Structure formats: structure tokens, C-alpha cells
Structure 1
Amino acid sequence: MADKQIEHTELDKLVKISQPARRALRGAGIMTLEQLAKWSEKELLGLHGLGPKAMPELSAALSAQGMAFKQ
């Protein structure tokens, strides 16, 4: 069986969130902190697979770079 190569995004390297949450972000085209900052918390929570447990990790990653979710 061939190894399945997974492309890691910037967010994969910066935050520890569940695989469903990672897939939800990737599916929405969110692969960088800059892209993440263009979304509000409410919009993100509307993505299937991304729940409230992921939000503190995502928020902390943004804050560490002087960014925040869209208001």
C-alpha cells in the first residue's frame, strides 16, 4: 500500500486541533493565519467539523502574531 502524502498547512504547524477541524479549515480554503483572520468566530463555528474546542487554539495562534478574528 502506498503512503498517503498529506500536505501540511501553516495552521497545521501552529495549532493543535482535531482532524475534523483541520479538514473543515482546509475545505474552506483556510491554510494561513492571514486567511483565518478574515473569518469571524461565528463564521468559523458554522463550518462542519469545527467546534468550540478549537477556538482557543486558533485565537491563541492569531494573538501570538498580533492578529485576531474578524469582528
Structure 2
Amino acid sequence: MIMKYNEFLIRLSNPARRALEFQGIDSFEKLASLSKKELLSFHGVGPKSLPIVTECLNEQGLKLKD
């Protein structure tokens, strides 16, 4: 089953969700264009968000940039 981006956002904490929205990250493709370091640099996104992001991107056949 392919997850919709808004379903992914619901799985994140409110601060992480707001951080992605503030940065204009509104699709899995835009999210996949980030590295772990870039993602963690956003205020509100912490290490607990990484497994959720990674899992959801994997379900879409995507991954974070190296």
C-alpha cells in the first residue's frame, strides 16, 4: 500500500511536522532530496523522527540523500 504524504505527516511529532512544512517539504520526493544531516538541522526534527522518515520513504521506494 502506498502511503499519502499527509498520512506520513500524522506519524511525526508536531514540531517535526511544522519544521517540514516551514521548510516547504510537501512531498516524499522533496523529503528524499535531503540528507540525514540536513533533516536533523531543522529545528523540531530530532533523532526519533529519523526511523519514521526512513521507513516511510522506503515504503515509497525512496531514501534520504547520502
Normalised TM-score (structure 1): 0.81
- The runs of at least 4 aligned residues of structure 1 exceeding 6 Å deviation read none
Q: Does 1:24 align with 2:31?
A: no
Higher helix share: 2
Identity over the aligned pairs, expressed in percent?
Answer: 44
Unaligned runs of 5+ in 2: none
CA RMSD of aligned residues (A): 1.2
| Pick aligned residue for 2:36 from 32, 41, 45 | 41
**Higher RCO, 1 or 2 (CA under 8 Å, sep at least 6)?**
2
Alignment of 1:1-71 (within 5 A): 10-15=4-9, 16-71=11-66
Query: Any idea what SS the aligned residue of 1:35 has?
Result: helix
Residue-pair matches, total: 62
